[in-house]
Structures are given as C-alpha cells and as structure tokens.
Chain A
Amino acid sequence: MTFESLSLFEEIYGSYFQAVRNVLEQAAAAPLTLSDMYHLVRSCAFEESAAAIVPKLTDGPWSSLLEKARDKTWKSRLKSSYLKTPLTALQKSWLKALLSDSRFRLFFEDGQLEQLSEELADIPALYEPSDFHYFDQYADGDPYETIKYREIFQTILKAMTEKRPLFTAYEGGKGRHLTLEVLPCRLQYSPKDDKFRLLCVNFRRGRVGAPAILNLGRITACHLSRTPIPERFDWKYPCSPASTVQPVRIRIQNERNALERCMLHFANYEKQTVYEPDTDTWLCSLYYDPADETELLIELLSFGPVIRILGPETFLRQVHDRVRRQHELFYSDETALFPQDCFRAGKENAAPEE
C-alpha cells in the first residue's frame, strides 16, 4: 500500500452504497414494500436520495439486485444477506495511527492493546502523533497515561453503556472532597482544554436531581452502583440545547481581516451574520451556553476594537466594567486599586464543577 493510493473520496464509503446495502440486507431477510425501501434509504442517505435510488432498484438499471414478487414487494436476488465491505487499507491505516494516541488507548486493557498492535503490525500508520503540533492546547490536560485515570475512564464508559448509576469520589473546588451518586449521560471532550468532562445528573437515594458536570481529572475513584434507575429517565437530559439566552450581538469592522478571524474563531458557536452596506460592517449574533459566558466574553475581548459588542445589556455591562477597570489600572495610581470586585460574574476558564 502506498499513501498516494489512498483517498477519502471514494464511492464505497458513500451514502448511496450504504443505502443500497441496507435495502439489500433487509430484502434478504424479508420482502420489502416500496415504502419500506424509501424509509431504509432515508435512514442512510440524503434528503432527495430516496427518489433517485428506489426507482433505480425497482425498475431501473439496478433492478438486477432485486426480484419483484406479485404482491408489490421486492426481495434480494443476492444469496448473501451480509454485505459488509471488509475493512479497507485506509481504515486499517487510520486504526493503526490511533494506536499511538493516548486518548484512544484509554478504552483498552493492556492485553487488548497488544492484540491490536499485533493485528495491525504490518499496516503502515496513516500519520504519526509528531506530524501534528497543537500549539495552543492548554498545558494542564488530563493524565491519560496514568493507570488510575484509565480505570476511572473505563468504569464511567461501562456505566454509560450499561446505563447504570455511578458512585464517584470527587475533588471539588477549594479542595473539598465529595461523594456523589450520578447518572452518567455523556462524556464531553474539549481539544482546547485536552480534558474529558462527565455530563451527568445527580442521583440521591433513587431520586433524580440536577444536572452536573464533573472533570474526569478530579474524580479520584468511582464504581458502578446497583440503585435502580427510574424507567422514564431521559439520558439526554443534561445535553439538551442551552442556547435559550439572548445571543451576543457583535458588529465586525471591515479591517485587520476581522471578519475572517471572527468567523473562524466562532465557528463552534451557532451564529447568524448579516452584512450592513451602509456601515460596511457585519452584524453577527452568537448563540451560546450560559455556562460558557465568561469564556465567550474573554474571547470577544481578545479581538479588541475591531469588533464592537452590542448586547445583550448584562453581557455588555461586564465588558464595560472590564474596559473601565483596565483604563484605571493603566492610568491610576496602583495603590488606589485595591480591592477590586469587577469579576464577580464568572470565573475565567475555571474548571466546571458540580
């Protein structure tokens, strides 16, 4: 295999092939109606794909794959009901590259990692970790290499896949030690922080409480609990959209490449941008999770005067306070500055706690 022969853009990975495979596998198990086929294609492909694929399968150039029965149903002409493509060279090469990723290794026991290494021994890795330099990643990422962290990670994963409650010993802010029972819903990963966080729901004596976020790096021990979970518990609960607050509105000046920088920087937020020809500026609304307000605030401040924060008023007030405070720090006598209290609104990048 040569790397030059590898391509991501191949029809075998395409949604149409996946949709047809789905139809054929289902049609091998039981005859399908047209409606069944439309449904199966929609689950795998794009908005208008079913209208293109199904007629080709029933009456068109792909009809040799299906056999029409009298009752307007179709069954597969293939003898096999199992049409999974073998792992390709590209997929194997990617898996081999992952073996050098400490986050990937968290999922496995040592014996499993050895087995994976042996299996993929002859496969060249698609890339090496040293091919990439993450120049602005925070320096206090989670300790993926430690045995304890890996054990905690695997226990949480087990609780999530088995939908079981979890007992955790947690080191909270200011060194407080807490023991919590939680329902683990999702593991959140941030490449910027290089940390995992557990999005969960407090669970005490069988009663569901408030959502919580636990830093994995601060969980000192955990094990599965046997407390039964209420049948109707919604495992997506803490992951529901939080963008219910008013968006932050900013005006972007047409200078210093501000538009391009803003659009790239805030690409992880849901946003809406409109050009205003009268002022030759862009108005951008950024929808955000209130938990991230302080982080968004300092990100916006980092752009300086090429953007102007317009609202909402509570957000703007914090900007005013910081900017005025900065002016005082620069141009007032240092001894007149203490104590200061203009940052009560939030902690800058303080680790989220339960």
Chain B
Amino acid sequence: MSGFQELIKNFDRVRDYMRQFFLYGFKVRGEFGEKSGRTYDNERRRIENYLSGYICSDYTSKGKQISIRMDSKQIRSNPLYAAWKSKSFTDRDLLLHFFLLDLLSDGNAMTVPELCEAISLRYGEELDVQIVRLKCREYERLGILASEKSGKSFLYRLAPPLNLEKPPLYDTLLNAVKFCSEAAPFGVIGSTILDREYVSNDLFCWKHYFMVHTLEDEALLTILAAMREHRFLSFENHSTRSGKSVTLEGLPLQIFVSTQTGRRYLCVYFAPKRRFNCLRLDCIFQPKPLDVCPEYDFFREKLRQNLPHCWGVSFGGRSRLETLSMKLYIDETKERHIIGRLRREGRGGDLERIRENIWLYTGTFFDTNEMLPWIKSFTGRILDLQCTNQAVLDKVTADLEAMYQMYGREDEHDF
C-alpha cells in the first residue's frame, strides 16, 4: 500500500478505532459506518503495527473482525500507550531535535544565528533562522530548553538536569515511576520517563487494570486545566446509545473513577438546571476552558457534601434520598469473609447483626438503582430486600425471578 504512514497527526481518530478494537473486537470492516473502507484499512494496519502481538483476527460470515486481546494480569506496561507515541512530524523536526541536543550538550548557550551557523558547518544542513527560532521557542515551552536575554537576542541552553536525577535517589525514583506509570493518572507520562532511560517495568504486575482509559487522557488534561483555574468548560458529549453529539457547557468539579470497571466520569455542575451531573470521559471530545467561575469553591464544597450520598455517579432525581435494606443469611462459622465484603464494599452503609447468621445491610443514597448490580452479586444469600423506591425493588425482584427461570430448573441447559 503506497503512502501508508504509521504515524498520525490527529489523535482522536486512532483513539476511536483503538477503543472499538479493544473493547468490542467484533465489528467488521463495513460496520465502521461513517468511515470509508480505505480509512478503516489504514487505521487497522496502524493499530496492528502499534500492538503487534496483541492483535487477533477472526473470520465470520460478515467478514474479518479485528480485536485487541490481552489479559491485564499478564501485562507489565500498557500496550495502548503506543498510540501516544505515534505523532507525525516533519524531517526538519527530527533533524533539529538531534542537532539542538548535540550542539547544546556541553552546557553552552547559543543564539539562534549561532545555532544556524553551527548546523550548517557541522552537519551540512541549511536551515532558515526563523524555523530554528520557532523550534527553540517550542522547546522552551516544553521545558527542554531554557533561555536568557543577551543584548538584543536570546541565548538558548538545555534545561539543566535536576539533582533528583542523580543516584541513588534516581534509581529509587525510577522504581516508583515503574509503578506509577500504570497505577497513577496520566501513567503514559511515566512511560515516557522510562523510555528516556531505556528501562521498563520489571517489578510490578496488575489486577483489575483497565488499560483502554489512557485514550481519554488528552481530554482529561484540558479538563484538569480548567478545574485548576476554576473555569467553566465547553465540550462535545457523544452519546454511545444514540450516536448523537451535543455541545454542553458546565463547571467541571471532579473526576469520578470506578476502580471496578476503569470508567471515568467528569462531574459537572450545570447552572441552568442547578444540578450536578456525571458524564463519561470517553464520551467527551473537544473540551475548551471558558470564563472563570468566582463561586467555584462554593460548588466544590457542595459536591463534597453530596458525595456520601452517591453510591456511584448518579445524583438521583429531585426526590429525597432513597434507602435500601438487604437482609442476608451468612454462616458465621464458615463465611466471615462475606461480612468483610459487606463492610468494605458497602460504601458507608450500616451493617447490623440481627441474630446468629442473619445480617442487615442498610444504605441511604440518592439513587438506589445504582446499587442493584452489587445487590445481585449476593444472589443466593438474600433473605429479604426493602427499598423506599418501589420501582427499584420491583426491578431487582423481577431480575432474580428471571434468573431463576433462566438457571433454576434442573433441565435448563444451553451450551
């Protein structure tokens, strides 16, 4: 295929395809609706290159389906970070990068004309002064170069190394970076620090690691910038159900993170509705900071006060708080760990021993509907359920009954 480039200009496109391949992995060429077949072929080939070793192809009646398959317990470093390391550049960008590092490696400072002359003499490349000046400014912005005024011109030198880069502290720091490059927000930055030293994680492995969410980090960076400066934010919100996109404006207050699914949400205060709302980060595109909100701390404090009543990411309807009680049978001689489960997973709900082997969990939250998956994880132990929201009670009761119809009969098999 002539003209194929591994590198890309626009991250959003690879973000979309990588997410589709990683999360779903069952779509075939024709199902990537709005894109042309040629676009699909190029994106597929790129992702196959970035993630070789993790790509699987399966053939179905509809065509070839590509999936990214990996067991997070076997992964040392998130392979999806490759997408962040695929930005395209010009030949001049690359040459100038290494010329500047080389010419300034002795710690000397040089003006832009001096750099141009040295590049010409040493490497035989004639570069325009303005181009070198722009690159120096760009590298200063990135923190690679430092500048000082000298008469009418600027002297550029490499940013001096920090003392923390000396052993033994740096060795310890790199071990910590091996951990944080996977376990902390923006782990891909840690990955670039490890690349810089040609080292990789050889100490840690992971459980409950949801790697796909690194793809949201550029949007998150802008959102955090708005939060830091107490600014309103405009953004596009794509609905995964309807496929529609709307532009919204609100006050970004906090990032809600599920450690059990990896999903991240932006908690926004929408002034016209006077409501907090959580929106999935993977559905947010084109975030743009707007004006400063003078009452930012007030809304942040309001949110903090509300958090104990959030089971998950819902602030419920306009009704009052809802209470759900679950009575469980727990064999106290053999199943103390279930009591431990209720304590650590109950999110502040009360746990009470009614009598031998009978325990009562009670929680009061904005939206008890969010509790239902957790409640159903106790299937086989629930003696009774009560809830102030009858619809929630009806739903869980119907689900348990449907599961009995599905699995409960001896002759029920569907292998």
Contacts and interface: CB of A to CB of B under 8 A. Distances in A.
Nearest to B89: A11
A337 interface: yes
A140 B313 contact: no
B355 to A, nearest CB: 11
Which range holds the interface residue count of chain B?
Answer: 35 or more
Contacts of B318: none
Interface string B329-347: 1010011011011011111
B376 interface: yes
A12 B261 contact: no
B258 interface: yes
A323 B122 contact: no
Contact of B56 (A24, A272, A298): A272
A43 B196 CA distance: 14
A191 to B, nearest CB: 4
A324 interface: yes
Contacts of A310: 414-415
B105 A80 contact: yes
A38 interface: no
A270 B102 contact: no
B407 A319 contact: yes
Contact of A9 (B23, B165, B218, B313): B218
A246 to B, nearest CB: 11
Contacts of B227: 131
Contact of B91 (A62, A133, A323, A324): A62
A115 B89 contact: no
B298 interface: no
B143 A15 contact: no
Interface in A145-188: 157, 160-161, 186-188
Nearest to A78: B102
Interface string A323-343: 111110110001001111011
Contacts of B313: 135
Given A91-B189, A272-B69, A302-B374, A190 B102 contact: no
A18 B206 CA distance: 26
A245 interface: no
A276 B124 CA distance: 62
B374 A61 contact: no
B404 A65 contact: no
Interface string A11-39: 11111111011101000000000000000
B320 to A, nearest CB: 21
Nearest to A299: B377
B52 A304 contact: no
A191 B208 contact: yes
Contacts of A5: 141
A56 B198 CA distance: 23
Given A188-B205, A191-B208, A267-B262, A65 B189 contact: no
A interface secondary structure, majority: mixed
A41 B47 CA distance: 18
B379 A322 contact: yes
A92 B62 CA distance: 49
Interface in B178-219: 179-180, 183-186, 188-190, 192-193, 195-198, 203-212, 217-218
A239 interface: yes
B2 interface: no
B337, B402, B403 — most chain A CB neighbours (10 Å): B403
A8 B84 contact: yes
B105 to A, nearest CB: 4
A99 B311 CA distance: 29
A337 B329 contact: yes
Given A94-B189, A104-B176, A80 B101 contact: yes
A103 B380 contact: no
A308 interface: yes
Interface in B22-48: 22-26, 48
B279 interface: no
Interface in B248-264: 254-263
A192, A197, A239, A242 — most chain B CB neighbours (10 Å): A192
A71 interface: no
Given A4-B289, A136-B259, A326-B404, A90 B125 contact: no
Nearest to A327: B404
B101 to A, nearest CB: 5
Contact of A189 (B93, B179, B406): B179
B357 interface: yes
A329 B358 CA distance: 12
B341, B380, B382 — most chain A CB neighbours (10 Å): B380
Contact of A47 (B49, B73, B196): B49
B50 to A, nearest CB: 5
B257 A134 contact: yes
B71 A49 contact: no
Interface string B97-108: 110011001100
A59 interface: no
A127 B259 contact: no
Given A6-B225, A46-B82, A116-B169, 8 more contacts: A4-B222, A65-B95, A90-B143, A127-B186, A189-B205, A191-B183, A243-B71, A343-B380
Closest 3 CB pairs of A and B: A89-B143, A322-B380, A3-B225
Interface of A: 1-18, 20-22, 24, 44, 46-49, 52, 56, 61-62, 64-65, 77-80, 82-92, 94-95, 97-98, 101, 103-104, 107-108, 112, 115-116, 119-120, 124, 126-127, 130-140, 157, 160-161, 186-194, 197, 199, 239, 241-243, 251, 257, 259-260, 263-265, 267-275, 282, 287, 289, 298-299, 301-305, 308-311, 313, 316, 319-327, 329-330, 334, 337-340, 342-343, 347-351
18 contacts: A13-B192, A46-B86, A61-B95, A64-B95, A86-B159, A87-B143, A89-B143, A101-B184, A112-B172, A189-B207, A302-B377, A304-B399, A304-B403, A327-B400, A330-B382, A337-B329, A348-B341, A350-B337
